[in-house]
């Protein structure tokens, strides 16, 4: 990610990681299945390349001050999230999720 943001020092690592985390949280909050947001344990990189592109766009839109491209990049990020939400992979992952257990009915004490 630092390469995409053209950051060469480690001084901005915390801010960069915060933006990555914010992008992933925003995607999950919007409804992207968490299975698509997982990090590959071997490469320590995002497994889904489309998610990775969305995170890049989010980070580039929100990194630094006075970014003349921020609005365009944020729009790109939002379109990517919409595409992810409508993707076969997202729909299939949601379809495979188990149904939540129903809440038990509260017991009523009927003494007569």
The predicted pLDDT at position 96 comes to: 61
Per-residue pLDDT band for 28 (boundaries 50, 70, 90) equals very high
- Sign, Cα dihedral of 22, 16, 51, 46: negative
Could you tell me if 50 and 107 are in contact, meaning their C-beta atoms sit under 8 angstroms apart?
Answer: no
Mean pLDDT confidence for 31-45: 85
What number of other Cβ atoms are within 10 A of residue 112's Cβ?
2
Could you tell me if 59 and 19 are in contact, meaning their C-beta atoms sit under 8 angstroms apart?
Answer: yes
The predicted pLDDT at position 14 comes to: 74
Sorted by where each begins, the domain ranges of the chain are 12-96
């Amino acid at each position: 990610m630092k390469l995409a943001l053209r950051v060469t020092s480690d001084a901005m690592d915390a801010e960069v990681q915060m933006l990555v985390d914010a992008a992933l949280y925003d995607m999950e909050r919007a409804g992207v299945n968490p299975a698509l947001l997982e990090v590959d344990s071997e490469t320590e990189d995002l497994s889904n390349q489309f998610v990775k592109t969305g995170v890049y766009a989010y980070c580039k839109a929100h990194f630094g001050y006075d970014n003349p491209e921020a609005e365009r990049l944020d729009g790109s990020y939002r379109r990517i999230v919409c595409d992810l939400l409508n993707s076969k992979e997202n729909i299939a992952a949601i379809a495979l999720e188990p149904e939540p257990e129903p809440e038990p009915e509260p017991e009523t004490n009927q003494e007569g």
